[in-house]
A and B are shown apart, each in its own frame.
Chain A
């Protein structure tokens, strides 16, 4: 048995799964401190299922807390950004292209320094000891504790980053440091941005992970705990203390995977309607379709790989204009249950329209009896039009595809969707994210520096694939489900001719009864 938990901005969901079957599920409001909601959800599913804690083999958590912290610019620690790249990139300091509000929240503490490497392994410039000392002294005087360190071509040679990180740690022993090298491939600005977003979340990550573990411990759940990653694989909870940014976009991934499990459909459009937005994604062969674009998180360019999601400003709490023509993107969000008309409030929301149209009976139906029928009909149809257009843009071809509706807001769909060949509303659709978390996958990675003069490229990649496969199998993946999701090559000329750092990542389905470890 596994527990899957999804912590969203509005609701916290939990499920207990036996293999691929849902034993019990619950949906509670996300509390202001988040953890009360998690505790409530856990208590409810444990009580409803009547299962003793000892029967739970693992707990998988998907959480939007870190994404939301970035988007809402809260819980962010002021962060010093040390970039080793000068004299290249003069006049282009770290965070130069960030939206003002998040740059302000993170503090604009940019330290461009000499250092880094050129493509051929030569230094861009030697490290300047005085310059580094001054920068660290300044950061220390400002009381900064969080740091991101990035250097030119660090995927090839991360020594400058490591040197500066060590110096920081020496000067500020309680510093929290993220090196850009941890975020992979070439693209200094995007890699640095990923490191900054990660570094600024480190204290918050520590608090969140500790709170999760406490909540589980007090319920005698001593099994392994995993948190879902943006590519749909699992990380150990402790790993998230150091890499909270890897949880970005795990929500949409989980909802897509959950929708697949609930319907058995491997190729479909998934529309996840929440309180504020409708997220439209595409399942292809059972996996979320990935975006090719440079991914922005909270307006910041990063190098993360993420599912291709079209977010529309339409959800159960969306505000409706007096004529019914304008819906959203403003929403009452989680205050729906106090501010919506049917809940005794004074705000006309999308949910009120659906109740007024007679399609749902929620709350006090009489509160919307007086709404003009024209308004109700206009707004109800408008919702379908908005979703149709969104689905149309995401369809892989001209042919209509099945559409799976998940999320609490799926009641907004009251008729046919033109763009869908068929509309599925599976049982447990409201908790698809928690189900997706519970069936999350495991990854295996293998990285090595190889010389193509001593081993042919295809042989080197094949060897790494075998090793990555073995790691994924060791972490509980089934053999037949393994697939390569990434192959990365970076030249490391200073190590010799034809020398490359090669990294292969594979992902596989978790065998139904095991969950040993994640990355």
Chain B
């Protein structure tokens, strides 16, 4: 299909939902992408089957602490500078681009870059959600090297990474993000179509669009949204869907630590006899607990929405006093393999607990 300016609002709404709190504020990326699509025409959204095996593809997106996206406004040329530097380094032109993560602003940047260059964007991403670190991407888990990678910061400084191993790469780009105002645009994971198909979470761009349209049409209380949402999620790669809590934010504390937004939030239930739910945040909502009881954990998705409108709320916009609902949704199967869990289990984030899939947790 063709993605045009008319799709952006729904696509952004759906991808803020899948962002599980991270991915960055989409407002400026929507404005930017809108402008480019108006000027250059719609962009081709390529299904993985239609992607030639020998096509040259790379992943593009922003790396950093999402709070920064509210103040350090992205520029119109950062993505293109990074893309061109990447092509120069590799000595060949890209045939298509693909997303790091289908989440918030990061789901729009590949579309903007693809539209500017008149190349397609692949329908799929490297997370099926948003996650904070590079080695958590399906591309990295499948062993596709990140470098050579090119990064561009707010002041047009361009940096080349030729690090060995994704863990080291993550430490290095994070260090650059920290010292470049907290947010950089990077192009990485140069790969062939055949390699990408093996690592991709497929269909997530079109699903985000479908989900966004659904959320717009079902705008209203989260409790009323739940049943139709459950159906939509059951018919997708995500499967399980639960409404785990409704209540009011009574505390929210995040700080920019090591290039991430890190902290937690406490949500008191509307029914006063219910203990509050605490959610740990590292860019994304990672772990939801009521007392000692785990309600949902990474890599499954934890989503906070406005209680009245069911509009998803990114962590950087979550505030004291907001009335919200919390949904939990199963992650794509990819992340339940032993290899993937080595990178994304709760233990990896420093929580002393093993991953239990959402559908096996007591509800």
Contacts and interface: CB of A to CB of B under 8 A. Distances in A.
**Do A and B assemble together?**
yes
Contacts of B221: 395-397
A87 B306 contact: no
Contacts of A406: none
B178 interface: yes
Given A89-B74, A90-B75, A91-B75, A119 B154 contact: no
A491 B256 contact: yes
B311 A292 contact: yes
Contacts of B313: 292
Given A97-B31, A119-B71, A152-B71, A293 B154 contact: no
Nearest to B75: A90
Interface string A74-100: 000000000001011111100011000
Contacts of B68: 119
**A interface majority secondary structure:** loop
Contacts of A292: 306-309, 311, 313, 322-324
B320 A486 contact: yes
A502 B71 CA distance: 18
B77 A91 contact: yes
A125 B253 CA distance: 29
A90 B72 contact: no
A186 B74 CA distance: 15
B55 interface: no
Interface string B123-147: 0000000000000000000000000
Q: Is the interface of B mostly helix, strand, loop or mixed?
A: loop
22 contacts: A89-B74, A92-B28, A92-B32, A92-B73, A92-B74, A116-B71, A119-B181, A119-B182, A120-B178, A120-B182, A122-B181, A186-B67, A188-B71, A188-B73, A289-B323, A292-B308, A292-B311, A292-B313, A308-B308, A396-B308, A398-B224, A484-B320
Contact of A119 (B27, B65, B251, B319): B65
B72 A119 contact: yes
Given A292-B313, A489-B253, A89 B182 contact: no
B155 interface: yes
Contacts of A396: 221, 308
Q: Which of B178, B220, B321 has the most CB of A within 10 A?
A: B321
B72 A88 contact: yes
Contacts of B28: 92, 189
A85 B255 CA distance: 22
B255 A293 contact: no
A85 B256 CA distance: 20
Interface in B57-74: 65, 67-68, 70-74
A486 B321 contact: yes
B76 interface: yes
A166 interface: no
A350 B321 CA distance: 39
A294 B251 CA distance: 20
B72 A91 contact: no
A118 interface: yes
Contacts of A87: 75, 154-156
Contacts of A153: 71
Interface residues of B, number: 42
A51 interface: no
A152 B72 contact: yes
| CB-CB nearest 9 A-B residue pairs | A89-B73, A91-B76, A90-B75, A88-B154, A118-B181, A292-B306, A487-B320, A187-B70, A119-B182
A256 to B, nearest CB: 15
B37 to A, nearest CB: 15
B256 A293 contact: no
Contacts of B181: 88, 118-120, 122, 124
B223 interface: yes
Interface in B145-176: 154-156
B12 to A, nearest CB: 13
A395 B255 CA distance: 36
A88 B322 contact: no
A191 B220 CA distance: 27
Contact of B72 (A96, A118, A291, A487): A118
Interface of A: 85, 87-92, 96-97, 116, 118-120, 122, 124-125, 152-153, 186-189, 289-294, 301, 308, 393-398, 457, 484-489, 491
B73 A85 contact: yes
Nearest to B181: A118
A62 to B, nearest CB: 23
A486 B249 CA distance: 11
B77 to A, nearest CB: 7
Interface in B13-43: 27-28, 31-32
Contacts of B255: 491
Interface in B230-273: 251, 253, 255-256
B244 to A, nearest CB: 18
Given A92-B31, A393-B220, A293 B77 contact: no
A438 B226 CA distance: 42
A17 to B, nearest CB: 29
Contacts of B323: 289-290, 292
Contacts of A485: 321
B321 A124 contact: no
A491 B255 CA distance: 7
B72 A290 contact: no
A189 B32 CA distance: 14
Contacts of B220: 393
B182 A118 contact: yes
A92 B306 contact: no
A174 to B, nearest CB: 31
Contacts of B154: 87-88, 124
A396 to B, nearest CB: 8
Contacts of B182: 118-120
Contacts of B75: 87-92
Contact of A189 (B27, B77, B306): B27
Interface string B277-317: 00000000000000000000000000000111101010010
Q: Which of A90, A120, A293 has the most chain B CB atoms inside 10 A of its CB?
A: A90
Interface in B75-94: 75-77
Contact of B67 (A119, A189, A395, A487): A119
Contacts of A125: 155
B222 to A, nearest CB: 11
Contacts of A116: 71
A90 B77 contact: yes
Contacts of A394: 308
Contacts of B253: 457, 489
B309 A293 contact: yes
A131 B155 CA distance: 17
A186 B67 CA distance: 8
B71 to A, nearest CB: 5
Nearest to A154: B71
Contacts of B316: 186
A301 B224 CA distance: 28
Given A188-B71, A398-B224, 19 more contacts: A85-B72, A87-B75, A88-B74, A88-B154, A89-B74, A92-B32, A92-B75, A119-B182, A186-B70, A186-B71, A187-B71, A188-B73, A189-B73, A292-B313, A292-B323, A292-B324, A397-B221, A398-B223, A486-B320
